[in-house]
Amino acid sequence: MTENCLRDDCPGEGTGVFDERGHCDECGHHRDAPAAPPPPADDLFPPFDDEDTNEFATVFIDPVPPDSQRRCRKNHRVGFTSDGRSGPLVGLCEECAEPFDFTNYLQAGDVVAGQYEVKGCIAHGGFGGIYVAHDRNLDNDVVLKGLLDPADPAAQAIVEAERRYLVTVKHPNIVDIHNSVKHRFPDGAEYDYLVMDYVRGRSLGDRAHPARLGRHAVAPITAAGFALQILDAFAYLHGYQLVYCDLKPGNVIQSGDRLTIIDLGAMRRINFAGGSIYGSRGYQAPEIEREHLPDAVSDLYTVGRTLAVLALGFPAAQLVGDEVQETPLPERPPNFNESLYRFLQRACDHDRDARFATADEMADQLHGVLRQLLADAGERPAPVASDRFGVERGAFAAGLANRTDTVFETARGAAARTVLPVPLADRADPAYTALATIAMQPPDRAIELAESLPESDESRLALLRMAIEADAPETDRLFAEAAARFGADWRLDWYRGVRDLGRDPEAAAGHFRKVRAHLPGELAPMLALAVCTELAADGAPAGLAQAAKQYEQVRRTDPTYTSAAFGVARCSADPAVRLTALEGVPAASSQYRAAQQALVAERVRRGPDWETIVAAGANLANLEGLDALQADLARAELWRAALAVIGPGLEDPSRRIDGVPLTAAAMATAYDAVLRRIAANCDSPLTRWALVTEANRNRPRTWL
């Protein structure tokens, strides 16, 4: 069994392995050696300010690469000894006989190209030392990145590539290159150095980074923010047909609130067949080992792995036998956000066809996940329109029950078919405009018109949706045609779920889970799954509690999803949670009055006291514009409940509800009047008689 080195100062970032003598093959420390001193306590809190990063002291190291980083041209380990002593700096590789020479390196005080005065070495890059130098001409510090072996054609090609690409790449999250210079050593050897910005800050691979929790994982919100900056840079690169290839935490520096991607030596053209392909085990896409040329999809895999390593705090690679292999994505830890985990599963899928296809698509879903993370943390992210789904077409099961022992009508799956959001149509589709008009027609007429449209992707999908909502007999045939036309398409999974809502909520949930896995930043599939959970619960308290939790996740992230608010109000066993959900329906929503009406019912139907009656009166005042009969029904409920709880000392003629003084006589008069108005509009003689009888029973007695 192998043991990984987890020292904070190990360059292997958790991938170093202790050999049989107990020494790490990356940093050389013995497993029993004292650990690096911990950072100050204040540094454990994420992330730091600009002022803090500028104060980080530059730590210079020995310019001679350590044993663990000495490699020949063919990537074999050289210059090391098995007994722990320093190995030779010059010689031949024992495996391939390639020469190596690590004796030429810059010293503090050396001047390169007559302009750059070396201060010291700060790191050993994959192809040479990295130095801080002072630019005498511009009076600022820069970084010099050099080659270990100028005779190595592969290393020379990398420098040429980095120089060629960097001078054209200009993005705020990518390091700037200023120049390319040469330096001749006393033995006549001439080395190339790239001159680039000196980015102060800390590497994301630094285990002492202030954003790390317990010095292993980074808070998910912070990690997602990091990944979004990286994705912005990758979208830029991919737009120029370039791929970075070697993203990992150690190649990203944080300075203030900005990340900078450094070390572009592995960057290349998309699908370029020449040259060597470089990457880091544990981050590189698995298809690269199968000789697939790097492209945008493989590049985005490195972003997913980087985010996973940061957010979950696990080593990217591990030694299995004699081979270093990628560490599988760990199981989702308790309390780790489900949407973020699903995002990581898709981003790190070994099936490249299942991954995100573009940086913009990946960023769009991660933005949605980040909004959920912020909502979980108590923030109130502003609602953002989805580019995958339209808005809700109504509120699911928001109608009040006709009896007073419960608040809402029973939720029925078939009703959800016509209120859940619909996947957005492609505006470029030739049928787009006609479909917008057809949507206003009655279902049967809409299906007839859709069938008459010229065949297109969107006309076929719209026809399928309409057939599902109308429960038309041709639905199964349309599904078969769509499957042949679209293949594995998340929209078909969505419509399969919608179809099954009225039949089998557990089967519907299976389809919606596929959509959620594909689009982890979207709220529509989360809402649909909450509906499925409520329907499958069939009144069972445990199932309803789970549904309430799912509805609340949607409502908290975006209050404009009013079906989620009503779902919480139906399913939660906590009165305060139910009231909060209904009160959170925005005043600008078309469902606002329905929510206020539900608040009245919630307060007066569940064992009211005088304070809840007064609170319900405030909701009654917000029913302006509601259908007159519905408003009168709410008034009747309130006055009936108020008359049942009012007692000595509670009357207060100075306070009013709906213009009625809070006295028993005044409220009884109001109750009598509203019952008679309702009765006057009632078609049923029996119901009308019952209402008038109730009015007479509660009508105040007078001598007049």
Tell whether the torsion through CA atoms of 457, 458, 461 and 466 is positive or negative.
Answer: negative
As annotated, the active-site residues are: 246
- Comparing C-alpha atoms, which of 257, 256, 276 is closest to residue 265? 276
- Comparing C-alpha atoms, which of 2, 1, 24 is closest to residue 13? 24
Beta bridge partners of 236: none
* C-beta separation of 242 from 161 below 8 A: no
Instruction: Give, as one character, the DSSP assignment of residue 223.
Output: H
- Comparing C-alpha atoms, which of 503, 489, 499 is closest to residue 467? 499
Structure-token pair, residue 374: 């912020």
Rounded to the nearest 5°, which phi and psi values hold at 128?
160, 170
- Comparing C-alpha atoms, which of 598, 599, 614, 600 is closest to residue 656? 614
Rounded CA-CA distance 409/444 in Å is 27
Q: Give one DSSP letter per residue of 306-360, joined into a string.
A: HHHHHHH---SEEEETTEEEEPPPPPPPTT--HHHHHHHHHHT-SSGGGS-SSHH
Give, in degrees to the nearest 5, the angle at Cα 30 between 29 and 31. Answer: 115
Structure-token pair, residue 148: 């270990």
**Nearest 10 degrees: Cα torsion 154, 158, 161, 164:** -120
Rounded CA-CA distance 146/162 in Å is 12
Rounded CA-CA distance 395/514 in Å is 24
